[in-house]
């Protein structure tokens, strides 16, 4: 982790009340109320969380970069906003930012050696929106290299650990963000999701996360992996917190050609609505082989709870589910091979120290700058786009993508919300799937289809396996149904406490 200058504000770490367990579980709204009532300043709150990062990050490796000077400067601006009565709901609250969002003056690496020296000259749209809201950037979180991975083990900066069990992966690619929230190093964080990269780590770390409908969150300044699938979104403790985060993150941006122009909405508006009459679709394809017994147990118990809350369940079918992984691993690498061609050692980022001519410089910089998984996907992508294979693979995958979207449209004619497991198993062990990429790819089997269809999906914690690793429930809504999905999640969180549980060794 870079910039260890914690010595600048030493007094903060001595004079302050330590964050108690209760405070660590405070919602964003509760923290906002404390700040507004001047019970704590943003500088103090930021110092408390930076203190936790300093103590815990060496074990968990959730952050790539921390810069207290920059964070405290933002906290002072936030305190001034609060004092002058100009506060927004997130003003003064520390938020961890996935290191895929370009952040002005901060090292922005995307988890890659290729960008290990890249200080961004500008802010991503998402970062601009948090800055405008007066939030404090507490640091940049570790991730799979260029968001390619499902375990946060492909990072140039080393793997992130799961705070529930240090021998387990936290999921990926937004593993650093999910770990930071689960370990209460930050009240909330941003992530990005191309095939499950917000929802899968949220599930494996026992926190809540949502991937909004494609096009709602601007991709400007969010380093691209697969442009037709990538979408930024929040990771937090609860659905209510996700709603407040979405209220900041969502919005039209002329700089992103895939950004959608829509009326702004308050994502928290339906949280309190009773679930009477809600129709939950259970895809028969999800509840067959592949799902481990402990995941099935927790998911089925959550569905029982939903019936108790007044919802009814109907069986639906998503027959093309089994095609989503092969389709994704044609389309996503194809787009990645194109998006990553800009990293050539010429303008910014890593350049090989020795080369003989321009072509040699390109080849060596890319050979040395990219890790194994990224190279694997560039090769697959280049292959499926090449002459003679384009029709057989790429065009075919695009046709199947349409069929997958059609399955969802037919299912949503019979239900309001689709539910199932977020992942087939709980967190696997570090290193367990590294020698078998296809095994690794299968951990996104339930999440990928929603990206292919552009639908919103979320994961909330619903229990634990026998070895105390968290289980996530996947909630999928129709296009632009985020407020409804958050309502569905919030009502469950009102009557259960999974989302308030924290790894026992982290209690204050």
For 249, the token pair is: 């993150």
Closest CA to 292 of 473, 426, 462: 426
> Residue 233 and residue 214: Cα distance in Å, rounded?
10
- Residue 98 among the catalytic residues: yes
Q: Which of 174, 197, 324, 465 is catalytic?
A: 197
Residue with tokens 């108690």: 20
> Residue 44 and residue 35: Cα distance in Å, rounded?
10
Cα 480–Cα 485–Cα 486 angle in degrees, nearest 5? 110
Q: Answer whether the bond into residue 173 is a cis peptide, omega within 30°.
A: yes
Strand order in the sheet with 188-193: 63-65, 136-141, 94-98, 188-193, 231-236, 208-211, 457-464, 470-477, 417-421, 279-283, 312-316
Q: Answer whether the bond into residue 313 is a cis peptide, omega within 30°.
A: no
User: What is the SS3 string spanning 350-392?
Assistant: CCCCCCCCHHHHHHHHHHHHCCHHHHHHHHHHHHHCCCCCHHH
Q: Which of 41, 98, 125, 259 is catalytic?
A: 98
Closest CA to 151 of 171, 135, 125, 123: 171
What is the separation, in whole angstroms, between the first and last Cα of the chain? 23
For 377, the token pair is: 């996907």
Q: Which of 32, 152, 173, 259 is catalytic?
A: 173
> Residue 416 and residue 484: Cα distance in Å, rounded?
9
Cα 470–Cα 474–Cα 475 angle in degrees, nearest 5? 140
Closest CA to 171 of 469, 381, 490, 475: 469
For 291, the token pair is: 């799902």
CB 91 within 8 A of CB 158: no
**Burial label, 5 (beta-carbon count in 10 A; 0-12, 13-18, 19+):** exposed
CB 160 within 8 A of CB 152: yes
Burial of 307-333, coded b for 16+ CB within 10 Å and e otherwise, reads: eebebebeebebebbebbbebbbbbbb
- Residue 433 among the catalytic residues: no
- Residue 197 among the catalytic residues: yes
Q: Hey, which residues are catalytic here?
A: 98, 173, 197
């Amino acid at each position: 982790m870079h910039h260890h200058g914690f010595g600048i504000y030493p007094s903060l770490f001595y004079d302050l009340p330590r964050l108690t367990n209760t405070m660590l579980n405070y919602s964003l709204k509760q923290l906002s109320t404390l700040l507004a009532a001047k019970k704590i300043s943003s500088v103090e709150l930021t110092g408390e969380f930076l203190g936790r990062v300093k103590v815990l990050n060496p074990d968990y490796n959730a952050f790539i970069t921390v810069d207290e000077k920059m964070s405290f400067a933002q906290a002072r601006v936030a305190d001034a906003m609060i004092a002058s009565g100009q506060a927004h709901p997130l003003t003064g609250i520390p938020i961890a930012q996935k290191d895929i969002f370009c952040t002005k003056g901060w090292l922005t690496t995307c988890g890659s050696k290729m960008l290990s020296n890249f200080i961004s000259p500008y802010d991503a749209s998402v970062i601009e929106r948090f800055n405008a809201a007066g939030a404090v950037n507490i640091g940049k979180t570790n991730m799979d290299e260029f968001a390619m991975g499902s375990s946060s083990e492909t990072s140039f900066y080393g793997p992130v650990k799961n705070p529930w069990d240090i021998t387990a992966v936290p999921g990926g690619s937004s593993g650093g963000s999910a770990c930071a929230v689960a370990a209460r190093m930050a009240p909330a964080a941003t992530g990005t999701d191309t095939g499950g990269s917000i929802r899968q780590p949220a599930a494996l770390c026992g926190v809540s996360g949502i991937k909004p409908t494609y096009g709602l969150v601007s991709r400007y300044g969010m380093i691209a992996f697969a442009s037709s699938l990538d979408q930024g979104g929040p990771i937090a403790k609860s659905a209510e917190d996700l709603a407040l985060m979405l209220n900041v993150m969502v919005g039209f941006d002329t700089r992103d050609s895939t950004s959608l122009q829509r009326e702004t909405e308050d994502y928290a508006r339906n949280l309190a609505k009773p679930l009477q009459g809600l129709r939950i679709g259970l895809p028969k394809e999800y509840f067959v082989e592949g799902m481990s017994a402990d995941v099935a147990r927790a998911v089925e118990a959550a569905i029982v709870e939903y019936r108790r809350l007044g919802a009814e369940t109907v069986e639906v079918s998503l027959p093309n589910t089994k095609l989503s992984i092969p389709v994704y691993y044609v389309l996503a690498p194809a787009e990645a091979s194109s998006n990553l061609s800009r990293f050539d050692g010429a303008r910014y980022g890593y350049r090989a120290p020795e080369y003989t001519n321009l072509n040699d410089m390109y080849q060596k910089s890319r050979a040395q700058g990219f890790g194994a998984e990224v190279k694997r996907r560039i090769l697959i992508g280049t292959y499926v786009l090449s002459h003679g294979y384009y029709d057989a693979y790429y065009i075919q995958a695009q046709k199947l993508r349409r069929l997958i979207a059609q399955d969802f449209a037919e299912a949503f004619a019979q239900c309001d919300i689709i539910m199932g497991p977020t992942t087939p198993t709980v967190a696997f062990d570090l290193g367990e799937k590294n020698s078998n990429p296809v095994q690794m790819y299968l951990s996104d089997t339930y999440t990928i289809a929603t990206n292919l269809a552009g639908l919103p999906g979320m994961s909330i914690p619903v229990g634990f396996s026998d070895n105390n690793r968290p289980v996530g429930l996947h909630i999928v809504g129709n296009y632009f149904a985020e407020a409804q999905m958050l309502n569905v999640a919030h009502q469950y969180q009102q009557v259960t406490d999974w989302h308030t549980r924290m790894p026992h060794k982290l209690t204050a």
